[in-house]
Amino acid sequence: MSVEKGTLEIKNLSKSFIVDNNPLHILNNISIKFPAGAFISIIGGSGCGKTTLLRIMLGLDTDYEGEALMDGERIEGPGSNRGIVFQDHRLLPWLTVGENVAFGLDRLNRKAKKLIVDEHLKLVGLSGFESAYPSQLSGGMAQRVAIARALANKPEILLLDEPLGSLDALTRIHMQKELERLWLLEKITMVMVTHDVDEAIYLSDKVVIMSSRPGVIKKIIDVPSSRPRDRASSEFMQIKAEILKEFHLGTEYPFAYAI
Amino acid sequence: MKKKLITKQTKARLSSFIFPILLLLLWQFISSAGYASSAVVPSPHKVLKTFQILLTQQTFFRNITASLERVMIGFLIGSSTGFLFGLLMGLSRTAEKIFAPSFHTVRQVPMIGWIPLIVMWFGMTELPRILIISIAACYPITLNTFAGVRSVPREYLELASVYGFNQLKLIRRVILPAALPSIITGLTLSLGMSWAILMAAEIFIQTQYGIGTQIQMGRQGFNMPLVVTGILTVGLLGFVMTMMIEKVARIVDRGRAIGNET
C-alpha cells in the first residue's frame, strides 16, 4: 500500500513511565491520522502528553506501545522529512541568522547552502538579515528564523510545538497569518500543539482535543470554514464554543456572572 | 546633530584610568611626605628612572623573554591538558566518577607545596619551572570547561538530536560553542594562575634569567626600585595578555558579544 508523502499515522499508541514501581500512563491508546497537506492542531491542558506525542513523532522517543508511521513506515529516529519549531526559537546564539537556517544543511556545499538560506529567509520575510545575530532580533523575527530553519530541510511534515506561545498578542495574530501563508505556499503537512483555541480554529482543518492523565483523544473537531477565516464570524464562534465545552469552560449559565 | 567631543566609549576608557592615577598619587604622597623611608617605599619618580635604565639593558629584556617563554609554554601545556580533561569529564559521567575525586583532592595542594617534590625529581632545571606553571594553569580551565560542558542547555542538545548529529558533530557544532564563554573564563583564570606561579617558580627554583630573578636580586641587594619595577612588569604583561585573550574571545564569540553590548 502506498501512502502519500507527508502522511503521519499514529495507531493505538500508548506510553507510560515507571514511577516508584508503578506505571504512570502518559498516553493511552492514541489513534490519529495526519493526512498529507493538512493543518491539524492539538489542544489540551498541561500534562496531556502533547509534548511526548510530538517527541514520538519526531523520533526522539521510540519506547512506546503501538505504532507511529511516517509515510507508512515505522519511525525509528529523527529524519529530515520531519521538521520542528519549538516554543522558544532555539536559535544558536553564536551563529548568524544565515548559519542558523543552514544548521541542518551540512551535506550541501556552500553555494547550495546559500541558495537555500536566501530562499527561506525571503520566504519568512527576513531577506538581508542573514548576517545578524539572534540577540539582535525581536521575538517574532527569531521565530520566523526558526521556521525558516525547519523549512530549509524541506520536510514533508512540520511539527509546531506552541510556536507562537511566547509572542505578544499582536505579533501572534500576525504570525498566525504568516503560518497560514507558509502552509498554503509549501503545501506540507503541519501539526501544531497550542493552548490558544482561536489560533487552532484560525489555522486548522481539524482540531484534536486531548485530555490529561492519561492523555487520550477526547474529540476531533472539523473546521470546514473557507480561508482566510474571520475570527468574528458566527461559525468561528460556534466552533470555539464547541471546543471550550470540552474543557468545561463553556458558558452553561451565561447570566450567572451578571447577577 | 552636534558631534560630541568625548564619546561614551572614550569616557568609559578614561574612567578605567581614574583608580590607577589615584593610587599613583597616594604613592607619591606617601613617599614625598616622608611617612616611609625611600629605601622601603621608593618614589614613583625613582621607579620610573629605574625603568628607563632597565630599558637600555639587555638583561631586562632577557628576563622578560625568559619569563614570557616559561609562562607561554607552561600555560599552553597546562591549559590544553586541562581543557581536554575538563571536556572528557564533562562529556562522560563515568570519567567524572573515575577522575573527579582524585582531581579535587590533588587540587587542594597549594602550588608551592609541589615545588620541593618536583625539584627533587627533576633538579633545578627549566623542566620543573614549566611543570609547576602547567599544573597551576591546568586547574581553572579543567573546572570551567567541565562546568561549561555540563551546563549546555538541554534544548540545544535536543535540537542537535532532531538533526541526527553524531557524537563528534554534536561536540563540534553545539557543545563546544555553547561552552565557549566558560572555556574562555577558564583560559583567562589559567593565564592568571600561570603568572602568579611564575614568580614562585623563578624565586624558589633559581634561574639566571626571569622577572622573578630580577625581583629576587633586588631583594638580595636591597634595591627596592628593582623589586618594584619587576612587580610592575609582571602586572603589566599579565594585563596585556589577558586583554589579548578577551579580544580574541570577542572576535570568536561575536554573536554573544553583540548581545552583551546592547
User: Where do the domains of chain A lie, and which CATH numbers do they carry?
Assistant: 33-61+75-209+216-258 (3.40.50.300)
Residue of B nearest to A88 (CA): B155
Using 50, 70 and 90 to split pLDDT, how confident is the model at A1? low
Confidence bin at A256 (pLDDT 50/70/90)? very low
State the pTM of this model. 0.81
CA distance B151 to B95: 17
Q: How confident is the model at residue B2 (pLDDT cuts 50, 70, 90)?
A: low
| CATH numbers and ranges of domains, chain B | 47-253 (1.10.3720.10)
Chain B residues in contact with A92 by the CB 8 A cut-off are 156, 159, 174, 177-178, 255
- Which of A60, A95, A133 is nearest residue B259 as measured by Cβ atoms? A133
pLDDT digits (tens, 9 = 90+) for A195-223: 889 999 999 999 998 887 778 788 888 88
Name every residue in B having a CB less than 8 A away from some CB of A.
155-156, 158-159, 161-164, 169, 174, 177-178, 180, 253-256, 258-259, 262
pLDDT, averaged across chain A: 85
State pLDDT tens for residues A86-127: 989 999 999 999 999 999 888 889 898 999 999 899 888 888
For B193-252, the pLDDT digits (tens) are 998 899 888 988 888 899 988 998 998 998 888 999 999 998 899 889 888 888 888 887
Provide the β-strand partners of residue A228: none
Q: Which residues of A touch B159 (CB under 8 A)?
A: 86, 90, 92, 103
Which cell is B128 given?
620543573
CA–CA separation, A225 vs A228, rounded Å? 9
By C-alpha distance, which of B259, B187, B197 is closest to B234?
A: B197
Span B83-134, pLDDT tens digits: 999 999 999 999 999 999 999 999 888 888 888 888 899 988 889 999 999 9
| Contact call for A78 and B161, based on CB within 8 A | yes
The complex's ipTM? 0.84
In DSSP notation, chain A reads ----TT-EEEEEEEEEEEETTEEEEEEEEEEEEE-TT-EEEEEE-TTSSHHHHHHHHHTS----EEEEEETTEE--S--TTEEEE-SS----TTS-HHHHHTTT-TTS-HHHHHHHHHHHHHHTT-TT-TTS-GGGS-HHHHHHHHHHHHHHT--SEEEEESTTTTS-HHHHHHHHHHHHHHHHHH--EEEEEES-HHHHHHH-SEEEEEETTTBEEEEEEE----SS--TTSHHHHHHHHHHHHHTT-S-SSTTGGG-
